[in-house]
Amino acid sequence: MKTIHTGLIGFGRIGRVHALVGEALPLVAEFPFAVDTRLVYTAESSLPSYAAARHASTPQAIIQDGDIHIVDICTPNDSHYPLGKEAIAAGKAVYIEKPPALNAAQAAELARLAREKSVLSQTGLNYRFLPGVNALREEISKGTLGRITGFTVRALHSGYLNPSRPIGWNLKQETSGGGPLLDLGIHLMDTVRYILGEVKGVQAQMGTEIKERPGSAGASEPVDVEDWGRAVLWLENGASGTVEVTRVASLLEEVTTFEISGTKGSFFYDIHDPWILQHHSWETGVTRRYRCKPESGFGRHAAALYPSGALSMGWLIDSQFACLANFYGDVAEGRKSYAETPDLSVAARAQKLVQDCYDSAGRGGAYTPCKGEQ
Ligand SMILES: NC(=O)c1ccc[n+]([C@@H]2O[C@H](COP(=O)([O-])OP(=O)(O)OC[C@H]3O[C@@H](n4cnc5c(N)ncnc54)[C@H](O)[C@@H]3O)[C@@H](O)[C@H]2O)c1
């Protein structure tokens, strides 16, 4: 059995999830490969025991280590591009958390470099591994809804509502590249493209409710990223709909939902119930809430990787688990097995859509045509 050695750069919230997935892998299912998280670099000075036992003194100690197969980049957004470039140049397979870079030009360059160097790449666009996302995609391509007449996609979070929350890397343009339009929006833009088809143009608006926050020196600092955004997406197939993201929603629970309507009926999907779809048939008047069963090649593959039942660790870790397990499998086999894999090219397309939204919002919501990766 081949052992894949990975080096983790960044051991914060998502770095720990990646490490957890590596450890959980053989307990959740039998895989034809083993994963060893061999090295961990974190900028924190006090190391948790997991990181201390595998500690690398610099990111370069991971990137230049001849035994490492995958460089897994889980750092703040501003370091994805330089670290990704270095890892690709060293010939490593790269897994880069989303967004792949600070802006669309950097993301496109990473995608190009990975293609030129023929290294395997994947990004943290884990929604592609949600069973309901693949089942929805299949139903829409089968024509279950008829002609699509509209869609509403929402990610409503409350994390930035507290004005005392310190400013952190994700609330500064220079380290994040943007607020929730990028952070949450890149997942939603990619999923809309994936399920419904290519986007032709966007019209977007955004705003910042909380304009100053406590900085590291104690004094208030201005917030230069949005904390909410809304976009109308016009698709090449003639359909249109909205994507709404916020981190200032005062809701009891986080909401991430997809509502898609067509001439024959509608679907509702809440990612917190990853296997459950709700279909309403306009023709029969019947509404059915059911456990989905993706049937396409990639849909079946992703569902088979998805932990379920007693081994579920919640939708976020489960979808990361399937996303990472897919990449480990590809690296073990030395090839990308499915075109649907969210590699750097896919992520660059999604990041470009987000950038088109920023361009539109910067021009008062003007229609902005979308033209591919860059
Ligand atoms: N796929 C998803 O759903 C998902 C979910 C959460 C976060 N993310 C992404 O993961 C990335 C990290 O987010 P997080 O919430 O874990 O952040 P975090 O702040 O919790 O952790 C960041 C880690 O990177 C380290 N670090 C900081 N600067 C560094 C540098 N220059 N070089 C090397 N290491 C550095 C820090 O020490 C820390 O260990 C972000 O890009 C974020 O968008 C993705």
DSSP conformational letter for 55 = B
Nearest to 220 by CA among 170, 173, 167, 171: 167
Contacts of residue 221, defined as CB under 8 A and 6 or more positions apart, other chains included, come to 167, 212, 213, 214, 215
Query: Using a 6 Å cutoff on CB, does residue 360 contact ligand 1?
Result: no
Q: What is the fold, at CATH topology level, of the domain defined by 131-296+351-368?
A: Dihydrodipicolinate Reductase; domain 2 (3.30.360)
Question: What phi, psi does 54 have (nearest 5°)?
Answer: -130, 25
DSSP conformational letter for 319 = H
Query: Using a 6 Å cutoff on CB, does residue 125 contact ligand 1?
Result: no
- Extract the tokens encoding 314: 């919640």
Q: What is the pLDDT of residue 244?
A: 98
- Extract the tokens encoding 63: 């990137």
Nearest to 4 by CA among 52, 39, 42: 39
* In contact, 80 and 99? CB cutoff 8 Å: yes
Atom of ligand 1 nearest to the CA of 10: 24
282 C-beta neighbours (distance < 10 Å), count: 14
Question: In this structure, which CATH number among 3.30.70.260, 3.90.550.10, 3.40.50.720, 3.40.50.300 belongs to the domain 2-126+325-339?
Answer: 3.40.50.720
| Ligand 1 centroid, distance to 14 Cα (angstroms) | 6
Sole residue written with tokens 């008062």: 364
Q: What is the pLDDT of residue 372?
A: 62
What angle, rounded to 10 degrees, do the helices at 297-305 and 131-142 form?
Answer: 160
Query: Using a 6 Å cutoff on CB, does residue 229 contact ligand 1?
Result: no
- Extract the tokens encoding 20: 């957890």
| Ligand 1 centroid, distance to 322 Cα (angstroms) | 20
- Extract the tokens encoding 261: 């309507």
Q: Is 187 helix (H, G, I), strand (E, B) or coil?
A: helix
Atom of ligand 1 nearest to the CA of 126: 1
Tell me the C-alpha distance between 286 and 61, whole Å: 59
Query: Using a 6 Å cutoff on CB, does residue 132 contact ligand 1?
Result: no
Q: What is the pLDDT of residue 373?
A: 55
**β-pair partners for 81:** none
Tell me the C-alpha distance between 196 and 198, whole Å: 7
What are the mean pLDDT values of the chain's consecutive 10-residue runs (374 residues total)? 97 98 96 97 95 98 98 98 98 98 98 98 98 98 98 98 96 98 98 98 98 90 97 97 98 97 98 98 97 97 95 97 98 98 98 98 97 61
* In contact, 229 and 185? CB cutoff 8 Å: yes
| Ligand 1 centroid, distance to 81 Cα (angstroms) | 13
Question: Ligand 1, from 9, 11, 14, 169: best to mutate by most atoms within 8 Å of Cβ?
Answer: 14
61 class by beta-carbon count within 10 Å (0-12 exposed, 13-18 middle, 19+ buried): middle
Q: What is the pLDDT of residue 199?
A: 98
Domain spans, the chain: 2-126+325-339, 131-296+351-368
pTM beyond cutoff 0.95: yes
**β-pair partners for 155:** 245, 256
